[in-house]
Amino acid sequence: MTTIIVGAGSGGGALAARLTEDPDHEVTLIEAGPDYPIAEDVPAPVQDAYEMSVEGFDWGLQAYFLEPPESRDPQPYPRGRIVGGSSAVNAAIAQRATVEDIESWKSDGNTEWGWQDVEPFFKRLENDLDFGERPAHGAEGPVPVFRHPREQWAPAVRAFEQACLDRGFPACEDLNEPGATGVGPVPRNQVGVIRASSLVTYLAEARDRPNLTIMPDATVARVLFEGTRAVGVEVDRGGELEQHFADRIVLAAGAVHTPHILMLSGVGPEDVLAAQGITPVVVSEGVGRNLQDHPFVPVLTLMKERTEHVGVRAELKFTTKDAGELVDDMMIFGSVLDPATMNMDVDTKGKMALILVALLAKPRSIGWLTLSSPDYKVQPELHVNLSSDPTDVTRLKETVRLAFEIATSSPVKDEIDEILFPDADTVNDDEKLEAFIRSISNTSYHGSCTCRIGPDGDPLAVVDQHLAVRGTENLWIADASVMVRVPTGLTNLTSYMIGERLAGWLSTTAGDREEVASR
C-alpha cells in the first residue's frame, strides 16, 4: 500500500510516522519548504520555542481581517513552510481541545467525534512530564508536554497570575485536565528549549525507516484524478512539474493550502471553479468556507526590568458575561514576547514587553477563502472576517477591560513602566474601544475549519466521519481544515490528534483495504 501525504505539519507528520510503523506501508511525505534531518542544522528561529518565527519559513500570505476589505489594509497571515509546518514556527503551546469543543462536533451529527472517541488519541500523542500518571494524560507519546515552574516566569508574569487569583479566579495547575478553568501555567511542547514540532518528534523517530520518503522543497500544484478517483499529485520541484502516483492521497497542507489545492484540482464550490475556468471533478460547496480563527487583542506594556524568561508562561481561562451557552470562551495569556512575532510593528524603546493577550477562544465570526487565480503559484484570497459577530466584539471588550484593569493595578503595575496601548480613555469609551478592537485585532495563527467534517446530507461537509473527501475515492484530509469549530484549546495538539485518528483508520489489514479505499 502506497500513500502520498501532502504537508509535513502536525497532522501530516503524525500520520506519516504512524503509517510507517507498518513496513508494508510505503509513504511519501511532500513538503513545500526545506527539511532539516540533522538536529544541529535546524535554524535558530525554528529551534527557539519561546518566540514565534514568522519570517524565513513562511508562505507570505496576506489576509483581509475585516469586511468590507477596504476598511483595513491586508495583514500578514503566517503559515509555516518547512518540514514541521506551522508546528515548527508556532508558540509551542500544547493545549488540547476541551470536552465541550469536541462534544459540540458530535452534536452536529459527527457521531465518530465524541470526547470518548478522541481522548485516547490525545493521550497517545503526548508524554506529559508533569501529569503523565493521571488517567486523562499520556506518558509514552512522541510529543513532550510540560509547564514552566514559577521561578522560570518573569516577575511581571507572576504578578499577572496573582492579580487573577486576587480577583477570585481559581488556581489551575493542569489546563489540559477535562473541565479545567482558571489561572495557571501554560502547557508547553518543547524538548529543552527547542520547539517540539513534528520535525523533531514524530518525524525524528520515523525518518530512518526505509518505507518513508520525505520530499522537501516540493509544491503540490494539484491532485490528479481519473474520474473522481485520486491517483496522484502534480508537484513543482525546482520549477519543473512532476507527477507522482500512489494508492492513497492525503492532504495535510493546512486550513489555507488544503482547500486551495482542492479547488485547483476541481473540487470546490461551483461558482468558484467556474470563475477560474476549472473543470469540476466534484462540486463541494463547503471547500474554503467556514474559516475560523482566534482573534486576539493585546494590552501592550513595557517592563521596568529585562528578563531571561521570555515566552508564554501563564494563562487565565474563564467564561465571559455574554458567553451564552459557551463555557470558558476567553483566555488571557501573560507573555513576554517581541511584538513583531505577533504581527505588531511597535517601538518598544529598547525595553521588553509584557503582553496581556486577550484571545477569544470561542469566536462566532466566520470567514472564507477563495481562488484568486487558477495558477497554483498565486496564493488564495483570504477573508478572516474577525469580529464580524457583535457578540465577539462584546466579549473582547469585557476581556480587554479586565486585562487593562490588571495592568493598571498592583501587583502588575509595580513591574511595568508604561502601557503603550490601549489608553484609559479608549478603554472607558464603548465606541472608542470597539474601534480599537477592530483596528488591532489579529490572527492567533489558528486558521481552521475550511474543509469541515459533516454527516451525510450536510451540503457543506467536505469530509465524512473518517476524513475521506466526499464525492471522491482514495482522497483524505488530515489537518486543521477538517475541524468543525476552532477549538478552545488552540489547534496544534488537536491537529496531531486528527493525524493520529486517520492513521488508525488507514492502518488496516489487507482484507480491510478495499473497504477503506471506497469510503
> Reading across the β-sheet that carries 212-215, which strands appear in turn?
212-215, 26-30, 2-6, 248-251, 475-477
264 occurs within a structural domain: yes
Is residue 211 within 8 Å of residue 27, measured between CB atoms? yes
Per DSSP, what are the bridge partners of residue 144?
Answer: 127
Rg value, the chain, Cα: 22
375 occurs within a structural domain: no
Give the integer Cα–Cα distance in Å for 441 and 135: 38
H helix count then E strand count, the chain: 13, 25
Give the integer Cα–Cα distance in Å for 91 and 310: 11
Give the integer Cα–Cα distance in Å for 219 and 235: 6
Q: Are residues 167 and 210 in the same domain?
A: no
CA 311 to chain centre: 18
143 occurs within a structural domain: no
Number of Cβ within 10 Å of residue 177's Cβ equals 15
Q: Are residues 100 and 195 in the same domain?
A: yes
Q: Where a domain ends, among 408, 424, 440?
A: 440
Residues 6+ apart with CB under 8 A from 431: none
How many structural domains comprise the chain?
Answer: 2
Cell numbers placing 15: 500520520
Q: Are residues 330 and 425 in the same domain?
A: yes
31 occurs within a structural domain: yes
Q: Are residues 256 and 156 in the same domain?
A: no
Q: Are residues 280 and 303 in the same domain?
A: no
* Alpha helices (H) in 84-240, listed in sequence order: 99-107, 115-125, 155-166, 202-206
Q: Are residues 427 and 459 in the same domain?
A: no
400 occurs within a structural domain: yes
493 occurs within a structural domain: yes
Residues 6+ apart with CB under 8 A from 507: 18, 19, 21, 22, 25
Q: Are residues 310 and 401 in the same domain?
A: yes
Q: Are residues 249 and 335 in the same domain?
A: no
Query: In CATH, what number is assigned to the domain containing residue 477?
Result: 3.50.50.60
State pTM to two decimals. 0.96
Query: In CATH, what number is assigned to the domain containing residue 347?
Result: 3.30.410.40
Q: Are residues 487 and 470 in the same domain?
A: yes
Q: Where a domain ends, among 423, 440, 457?
A: 440
Q: Are residues 319 and 244 in the same domain?
A: no
**Which DSSP letter does residue 490 get?**
-
Give a three-class secondary structure readout of 245-265: ECCEEEECCHHHHHHHHHHHC
Q: What is the pLDDT along the chain (519 residues), one digit of tens a residue?
A: 999 999 999 999 999 999 999 999 999 999 999 999 987 888 988 888 887 887 889 999 999 999 999 899 999 999 999 999 999 999 899 999 999 999 999 999 999 999 999 999 999 999 999 999 999 999 999 999 999 999 999 999 999 999 999 999 999 999 999 999 999 999 999 888 889 999 999 999 999 999 999 999 999 999 999 999 999 999 999 999 999 999 999 999 999 999 999 999 999 999 999 999 999 999 999 999 999 999 999 999 999 999 999 999 999 999 999 999 999 999 999 999 989 888 788 999 999 999 999 999 999 999 999 999 999 999 999 999 998 999 999 999 999 999 999 999 999 999 999 999 999 999 999 999 999 999 999 999 999 999 999 999 999 999 999 999 999 999 999 999 999 999 998 999 999 999 999 999 998 643 343 444 334
406 occurs within a structural domain: yes
Q: Are residues 198 and 175 in the same domain?
A: no
Q: Where a domain ends, among 440, 463, 482?
A: 440
Q: Are residues 496 and 452 in the same domain?
A: yes
3-class SS at 341? Answer: helix
User: Can you give the residue range of the structural domain that contains 397?
Assistant: 149-185+295-362+387-440
